[in-house]
Structure 1
Amino acid sequence: MLKHFIFVRNDINLNTGALLAQVSHVSIKCVLEFLSDPDCYTFINQTDMTTIILQVNEDEYCELKEYLSSNSQVSFVEWLEQPENVMTALAVKPLEIEKEKEFMKFIKKYKLFK
């Protein structure tokens, strides 16, 4: 099953609406970046997309980025909010969770965004 994971910072001074905008921005950027990828293309053409939004603080964000940067199997994009110049969100390319067991194990520590 294809799922799209988005990680949003919960330790920055933005209201809920602004945080939701960050999720929207990074999601669109991710789809555009990986549109030619078969999994991404399949994901956006499904009628039952599953997107999971998890919350991270600055330290967790850095840990996540370091993990993903060293794991070439999982591609991602980030959203840099301007003019604040702050990384606010990270989206992983839609992926088959059954094939990414290591990634799934790693992200279990992060909580759903609320």
Structure 2
Amino acid sequence: MSQSEGTPVTAAAVVNIVQYILVRGDLISKLEWPLGAVVAQACHASSAALHLFYEDPITQSYLKDLDNMHKVILEVPDEQELLAVEKVLQSKEIKFKKWIEQPENYPTCIALKPYVKTDVQKLLRKYKMLK
């Protein structure tokens, strides 16, 4: 059982807790959204995931040290890839929030709940940091 499935979190694990956020790169490159609007999407998704999974022990550990929270913002090329990632995460029972911008109804990003890095990193390796 991984640490994110309910086993106690050790002090060593707390420093390795990360929240991954996957953002569509085409929002900037092709759809020409302002950078601030794209950043807002990631913020919305992150906040929503923290709220949805607030009672989770890993989320609680993550929030106990606000000055040292670690987030990794990754880029997926487009909506199709974002939806493909969603299916993979669902199949692996990884908890997340997909943010859908309204009123346009655009899926813009996915924020995972905080996880011990080694529990999810392998699923996201192919994606690079958002540029």
Q: Tell me the TM-score normalized by structure 1.
A: 0.91
Matched, 1:22 2:37: no
Which structure 1 residue ranges, 5 or more long, are not aligned? none
Partner of 1:59: 80
1:105 to partner: Cα distance:
1.9
Partner of 2:122: 105
Find the residue that maps to 1:90 and give its secondary structure. Answer: strand
1:63 to partner: Cα distance:
1.6
- Residue in structure 1 matching 2:56, options 37, 40, 44: 37
Which structure 2 residue ranges, 5 or more long, are not aligned? 1-15
- Residue in structure 2 matching 1:89, options 109, 112, 115: 109
Where is the helix percentage greater, Structure 1 or Structure 2? 2
Q: Tell me the TM-score normalized by structure 2.
A: 0.80
Partner of 2:90: 69
Q: Look up the equivalent residue of 2:89 and give its one-letter code.
A: L
Count of matched residue pairs: 110
Q: Look up the equivalent residue of 1:6 and give its one-letter code.
A: I
Give the Cα–Cα distance (whole angstroms) in 2 for the partners of residues 86 and 59 of structure 1.
Answer: 11
Q: Greater Rg, structure 1 or structure 2?
A: 2
Find the residue that maps to 1:78 and give its secondary structure. Answer: strand
Partner of 1:6: 21
Give the Cα–Cα distance (whole angstroms) in 2 for the partners of residues 25 and 45 of structure 1.
Answer: 20
